[in-house]
Amino acid sequence: MAPPTVVLITGVGRGIGKALAAAYLLHPDHIVIGTLRDPKAPQAEELKSLPVGSGSHILLVGIENTSLTDPKKAVESIEANGIDHIDIVIANSGVSIGAGPLETADPKAFVDSFNINVLSGVVLFQAVNKLLTKSSAPKWISVTSRGGSTGAPLPWYPYAAAYCMSKAAQNWFSQTLHVANASLTAFAIHPGFVLTDMGVAAATGAGIDLPVTSSEASANKIIDLISSATRESLSGKFLDVDTREEIPW
């Protein structure tokens, strides 16, 4: 009997993370490990009541994204629940704060953005790597942004300097995972302009129309991309989920 497919998704409390968890749970024989700041929060009960496919279930673990120790504790909890490998990690958690032009941007916003959008992923990888290496086909997906591209930046992103600069650093980290780990399929994705709290805030700040893509539609496109991804086809790349276009780093 084949082992279950184990998927770890950070930030499942809302938005794309929640939609990804819900979609993966509908697949048979899947264990979805979802991270929340507080796994006892009201959001947790809603997540536990999501419909599941045959042989599938969800495990919620607590990770506060500025913590340097929570990921290690989360892995201990994962192992205590009898899970001995992880097949897919989707580093979805992120924050966009301190919007404004560079002339007036709060320096603290840059520090906080780096800690959450970059350092949390590094600490998570260090904690879960031993379980990833036990998968027959491990995958790491960084949910980043086209705004982090230094090769093809979009014109309405300068107001979100802290966010974009941190995403550029996250992109470096994602590409380096590919280079440094010969058995890992690691790539970064721009999920598109999605109707989430962050998407609405970005549209409002940039003075453009609100996004129309739902979290559920975005999640399904992301899962389709992940399911077909191989080391040879996508690892080390930065992709637009909507168009499958490769974005310059």
Cβ atoms < 10 Å from Cβ of 17: 24
Q: Among 18, 139, 167, 221, which one carries the catalytic annotation?
A: 167
Q: List the chain residues with pLDDT less than 70.
A: 1, 153-157, 194-213
pLDDT at res. 157: 67
pTM: 0.93
pLDDT at res. 2: 80
> Cα separation of 95 and 112, whole Å?
9
Q: Among 18, 24, 157, 163, which one carries the catalytic annotation?
A: 163
> Cα separation of 43 and 33, whole Å?
15
Contacts of 223 (CB under 8 A, 6+ apart): 20, 23, 24
Picking from 37, 49, 29, the residue whose alpha carbon sits closest to that of residue 13 is 37
> Cα separation of 237 and 116, whole Å?
22
- Structure tokens belonging to residue 206: 């940039």
**Residue 39 CB burial class (10 angstroms; 0-12, 13-18, ≥19):** buried
> Cα separation of 236 and 188, whole Å?
8
Cβ atoms < 10 Å from Cβ of 245: 12
Domains of the chain: 5-240 (3.40.50.720)
Is 163 catalytic? The answer is: yes
pLDDT at res. 66: 93
pLDDT at res. 181: 96
Is 167 catalytic? The answer is: yes
